[in-house]
Structure formats: C-alpha cells, structure tokens
Structure 1
Amino acid sequence: MAEFVGRPFFSCRNCRNPVAMADDILSKKFHAKSGPAYLFRNAMNVVFGQAQDRELMTGVFAVAEMYCGNCHEEMGWKYVRAYDPKQKYKEGRFIIDLAKIMKEY
C-alpha cells in the first residue's frame, strides 16, 4: 500500500481491493450497466472474462467483462477492439462503474 500514500485511488466497494488510480481517469462522461462510469487508462487487481462483441451507445466493440481480482464483483469492462476508426482511442482502456467503486486517499 506504500505506493498509494498521498495518491487518491479507487477501490472495490465490496472488498476495498484497489482497482484504479485517480490519475488514470481519462473521462468522467461514460455510462455502465447501472449508471455513471469513468474511462480509465489503467486498471489493477482485476481479472477479465472472454472478449465478446457488444453493441454499445457509440457502436460495436469487442469487450471483456472486468471483475475485482479479490471478490470477483463485476466492475465494468475493457475495450479490446473498436470496429469504428473514430473509436480506436478506447482500445485497451477500462470502463469502471461508479456504483462498484469508492474513492480513497
């Protein structure tokens, strides 16, 4: 936990496992299954399901469901592939549902 001292981060609301650094937020204007979500550059201490094509608000993407690496709570997804060239910036990025995380300092 020493690497988190003085740096805000987000943890799983269920088990408090750290999952993302506040510095890695790219956008706060996204939506997940249950409501508002953030787009993150990186995520940590998470595991992924099999990538599948999914129709989202901005088009079709290959996404992998993302789960807390500790308690396996569903957290959001990782953009694996964007089929629309205008959406390529999302590839390799992470959507984390705000209802599933809490900010810590």
Structure 2
Amino acid sequence: MAEDSTAGRAVFEKLLGALGFETLFAQDGRTAIALFVENPDIALILMDIRMPGLNGIKATQEIRLAGGPGGMTVPIIAITAADGPEVRRECLACGMNEVLVKPVDPRRLVEVLRNLVK
C-alpha cells in the first residue's frame, strides 16, 4: 500500500490484516515502485493518488511500464479523498483497475478485492 498518512496506513493495515493480507507500506510513489520491483509477487497495490514526491498516478504508470510482466497484471486500486468523474477517468486512464474514495467502505473494499485478486 502506498499511503502517506500514518492514520490511513493504520486503518488499512487493520482492514487488510482481518482479510488475511500481509501489508507492505510505502510513503510515496518512488518507494511503492521499489517495493514492487523487490517483491514482484505482490498480489495487489492500493495506491493513494495524492502523495508528496511521485504521486500515485505517475507511480502506477511506472509500475505498468517498468515492472516487468507482473507490472502489467498486478491489480492497482486508487485510494483517494477526491471524488468525481474526472478523478475516476484519470485513475483508470493511467492503468489503475478501480477507484475507492476515502473513507473507504470496508464492504466495498472486500467486493473489489474479490473481483481483482485471484
């Protein structure tokens, strides 16, 4: 998970842990890319789109282009406080698979995970 907010990381760690996921955290897009390159078997990436340094949009593009075969197939879910059709279009256009708006509804997260993680 790429998330610059400590509180956000804590919430997702609890949610994902309850669902049986082990979570790796990155505070920015560059670190998210590095974690994926080091751990190409990552099953899923939750990507905050507004982070300092390299944002989630650019990090997703980098993972899709430079992440090898896994970079093209790993599900990437945008996590954002911004809502609206423009944000959704931008996220999907850069290669993200889905968009979840903060605060994330745990039931919606489970639904998305069931659809994307095989």
Q: Shared topology, TM-score over 0.5?
A: no
Q: Which has the higher contact order (CA 8 A, sep 6+)?
A: 1
Higher relative strand content = 1
With structure 2 as the length reference, what TM-score do the two structures score?
0.25
Higher relative helix content = 2
